[in-house]
Amino acid sequence: MLGTYLLLIYEFMKTGLFAIGGGMATLPFLMNMAIRYPWFTVDELMNMVAISESTPGAIGVNMATYVGYTTGGLLGGILATLALVAPSIVIIIIISKFMEKFNEHKIVRHGFYGLRPATAGLIAGAMVEVFKVSFLKVSEVLSLGELFNSLDIKSIILYIVLLFGIVKLEKIHPIYFIIIGAVVGIVFKF
């Protein structure tokens, strides 16, 4: 079990260090974990995303806690969560000490501008994976004909209806759309 704890710490510390841009930027790292370790499957990862988005707190922290808990119990949940946030805390402390001094430095400004597209790329990559798992019945598509045969039409229709509702009914709180999606998934057995 010690090996599992050390592996959880390593993987989530690496995720916390390199997933720049928030919780959705952790998805490529979690996808990699789903492939490399028996901790959770890709389908379970998509469920974790749904649950983490529906519960209070940061999505990355929620998912780290969930994976750690299911893999190593209470201690695993605590270790994975701490490992995910520790790099950010250390970096924030270091940066805050030097930020005033170097805030206007040309290299620092360019560095921050360079992080923006990298962050957008991580989030876009995560979005592609979420769409693939959510809208396709298979994980690997080889040809255009197979693509159309593997589309999950029920999921696509639900997505379009909820997206339309969110855009057109912007005064309605998002929690209602989450509840509608959950109820439809239960009733129609998605």
163 and 181 Cβ atoms separated by less than 8 Å: no
Give phi and psi for 19, each to the nearest 5.
Answer: -85, 80
Q: What is the DSSP string of 5-46?
A: HHHHHHHHHHHHHH-TTSGGGGHHHHHHHHHHSTT--HHHHH
Burial (Cβ within 10 Å: 0-12, 13-18, ≥19) of residue 37: middle
- Average pLDDT of the chain, as a whole number: 84
Rounded distance, CA 82 to CA 68, Å? 10
What pTM does this model have?
0.62
According to DSSP, the residues that pair with 136 across neighbouring strands are 151
100-119 confidence digits (pLDDT tens): 677 677 887 788 788 888 88
Q: Report the range of poorest mean pLDDT among 32-36, 70-74, 117-121.
A: 117-121
